[in-house]
Amino acid sequence: MAMRFFLIAASAAVLASAQAPPSNSSECTAKSFSLPSWLIEDVKYDDGAVSFDVSNRAIDFAESLVCKTKETGLSACSIQGKRWANNTLEASVETNSESTTFYLKQSWTCNDRGKTLIFTAAGNSSAAIDYDAPVLIKGSLTSPVTITPAYPAGPRGHDSPGCTSKSETPSWTLSAVYFTDKPGDGNNSLPFQNFNLLVTNPANGYQASCMPRGSVGGQPDLSSLSCAGYEFQGTVGQYSIVTAAGFDPDTYAFTLNQTWYCDDTDAARPLQITASGTTTLPLTCTTSPGPNNRTSRYCTIERSSLPLDGNLATVTTLRPYALEEPIPPTRDGCTLTSIFNPRWEFSHFQTTTSGDETEDDSTSGTVSFEVILAAEDRGFQYPIPIYQGEALEGEEEGWYECDIGADGGNGLPLWPYKCSFRYDAEGQGLELKADWACRDLDRENPINFSGVTTTSVDTTLTCETTASGQSRCTTDDPGYIWVAPITDVTW
Ligand SMILES: *[C@@H]1O[C@H](CO)[C@@H](O)[C@H](O)[C@H]1NC(C)=O
Ligand SMILES: *[C@@H]1O[C@H](CO)[C@@H](O)[C@H](O)[C@H]1NC(C)=O
Ligand SMILES: *[C@@H]1O[C@H](CO)[C@@H](O)[C@H](O)[C@H]1NC(C)=O
Ligand SMILES: *[C@@H]1O[C@H](CO)[C@@H](O)[C@H](O)[C@H]1NC(C)=O
Ligand SMILES: *[C@@H]1O[C@H](CO)[C@@H](O)[C@H](O)[C@H]1NC(C)=O
Ligand SMILES: *[C@@H]1O[C@H](CO)[C@@H](O)[C@H](O)[C@H]1NC(C)=O
Ligand SMILES: *[C@@H]1O[C@H](CO)[C@@H](O)[C@H](O)[C@H]1NC(C)=O
């Protein structure tokens, strides 16, 4: 059985590699931020030398290298053949009797975003001397920002020990099976059918809940059930487990199709496995008399779970390390917004002036507003309120510290963590000096940005006197928002 399984896998591999997506040089920047990494392939050991091919997964770069291995310690490598224009690659290896460690450092440029950025990344990885699959070297960037990009977790259970071997004889466990069939009376109550179950794949521990997907003529269509797991798309990566099922209310026949992934034996050779299974569910039903001499059925299985044996349909070898390969974002988050199009979005601007006539109006007022980085991808973040804090002195006379509102969010704020501002009531001019941090690319190592904004509240403020004698001025349109660029951005 095992033999047959791997024969299928090997023949499918040819198919899969031919379908590898072409690299898209216009995504140079997005890929360089999310997957600076290399594949080492075709490693050959010769007398006192090791040769291999290296390709950069972020850009269209591939070269063949040769390294003269000394007795011990690091050996520098040289590129064979043509030089790569404007890209620098430093490579070295360290070889002992059992394994080789590859060290890489490379700089390259991307200019697909209007602004030319120089990327520098470095990484290392070891492989046994007799290992013949591609070796992945994950890179950490040191330019233009210092980050180690996060990798997605991949589809559920893909690397759990035994995933591949258990998948050779596919099976599932069915549980929580419920079938309801209530005929309609022909006038008022409509006929109603429902079917639910849980399906668990023991190879990867993945559990999906199946329910009717849509309806045919107002009736749920039980022949096409939709099955969903509890995975969060954001961290799964580009391959997610897909389950489809169907149930026949007349024969109790249940069919299941599922596609899942295993790379527990070798992440360089990830498998995509599709299998299907069919069974007649041993449903036990309680009935009650319904209208028109028809009976209503409520059915379930007596045991807590039921095995379902499956048949392998296809096994495909995907490209090396595909399951945890990061997906370059299509919309700019915190970091890319801060680099390419840094802007604050302001809202809820208001001034409050105390009724105290003894003080000059322009200094006794306090200003508040809400602000958020105008990123394309804001996740679940909303603007944070900024209140007027301590007055600054000396050279910063007229400026106030920001009293930043309660941090209601968590993970990835798009707000200043520190700022100061100055407001000119006469001309409605607002200046903001802000520091903010981005951790969308690397949660552990946030990138600190700072920049200044000079803008104005370009709408009419309407003032009213509150019960306590204060004068409060707000924008005419309470929903008025405006966006202003952040200049002199540094990090
Ligand atoms: C490359 O990416 C750009 C932007 O995402 C897209 O418009 C273009 O169609 C892509 N080209 C190819 C060949 O995939
Ligand atoms: C290399 O860089 C130089 C200057 O930065 C530029 O003029 C030249 O066009 C670049 N060459 C290539 C092949 O990109
Ligand atoms: C090798 O890579 C690890 C992370 O994978 C890193 O911590 C270490 O500093 C690297 N070693 C060298 C010599 O670059
Ligand atoms: C359906 O409608 C008919 C005529 O209005 C009525 O006699 C009959 O009792 C109704 N059946 C049910 C089950 O309500
Ligand atoms: C399962 O896959 C087979 C073959 O592609 C297809 O004929 C069948 O309709 C599928 N069943 C379900 C329930 O999706
Ligand atoms: C229900 O069944 C009984 C006995 O079989 C029959 O006499 C009656 O006509 C049926 N009623 C309807 C509405 O079909
Ligand atoms: C970013 O700013 C925070 C808060 O001021 C500070 O603790 C941290 O060390 C800074 N990080 C870097 C990389 O400068």
CB 270 within 8 A of CB 158: yes
- The number of the ligand nearest the C-alpha atom of 417 reads 7
Query: Of the bound ligands, which one is closest to the alpha carbon of residue 104?
Result: 3
CB 430 within 8 A of CB 455: yes
Q: Confirm or reject: Cβ of 185 under 6 Å from ligand 4.
A: yes
What's the sign of the alpha-carbon dihedral 44, 45, 51, 55? positive
- Does any ligand 2 atom lie closer than 6 A to the CB of residue 288? no
- Atom in ligand 6 nearest the alpha carbon of residue 292: 13
Counting atoms of ligand 3 from 1, which one is nearest the CA of 138? 5
Nearest-CA neighbor of 206 among 264, 245, 160, 256? 160
Element (H, E) at 166: helix 163-167
Query: What is the Å distance from ligand 5's center to 19 Cα?
Result: 23
pLDDT in tens, the chain (491 residues): 333 343 333 333 222 222 233 344 458 999 999 999 999 999 999 888 999 999 999 998 888 898 888 767 788 887 764 444 456 888 999 988 899 999 999 999 998 888 899 999 999 999 999 999 999 999 999 999 999 999 999 999 999 999 999 999 999 999 999 999 988 766 777 778 899 999 999 999 999 999 998 766 667 889 999 999 876 655 788 899 999 999 999 999 999 999 999 999 999 999 999 999 999 999 999 988 877 777 889 999 999 999 999 999 999 999 999 999 998 888 999 999 999 999 999 999 999 987 665 544 444 689 999 999 999 999 888 899 999 999 999 888 999 999 998 875 556 789 999 999 999 988 999 999 999 999 999 989 999 999 999 999 989 899 998 888 888 999 989 899 999 999 999 99
Q: How far, in whole angstroms, is CA 448 from its chain's centroid?
A: 21
β partners of residue 173: 200, 307
Among all bound ligands, the one having the nearest atom to the CA of 125 is 3
Residue 56 main-chain phi, psi, to 5 deg: -95, 125
Nearest CA to ligand 6 atom 9: 293
Closest CA to 77 of 109, 100, 108: 100
Q: Does the predicted TM-score (pTM) go above 0.75?
A: yes
Q: Is the CB of 257 under 6 A from ligand 5?
A: yes
Q: How far is the CA of 243 from the centre of ligand 5 (A)?
A: 10
CB contact at 8 A, 33 and 335: yes
Q: Report pLDDT for 4.
A: 38
**Gap from CA of 285 to ligand 4 centroid (Å):** 27
pLDDT of residue 353: 85
Q: Which H or E run contains 164?
A: helix 163-167
Name which residue sits closest to atom 13 of ligand 1, judged by CA.
24
Q: What is the pLDDT of residue 87?
A: 60
Alpha carbon nearest to ligand 1 atom 3, residue: 26
Ligand 3 touching residue 148 (CB < 6 A): no
Domains of the chain as residue ranges with CATH = 3-143 (no CATH), 163-323 (2.40.350.20), 334-490 (2.40.350.20)
Ligand nearest to the CA of 108: 2
Yes or no: say if 106 and 123 are a contact pair by the CB < 8 Å rule: no
DSSP string, 180-207: EEE---SSSSPPEEEEEEEEEETTTTEE
Three-state SS at 101: strand
3-state SS record for 360-419:
CHHHHEEEEEEEEECCCCCCCCCCEEEEEEEECCHHHCCCEEEEECCCCCCCCCCCEEEE
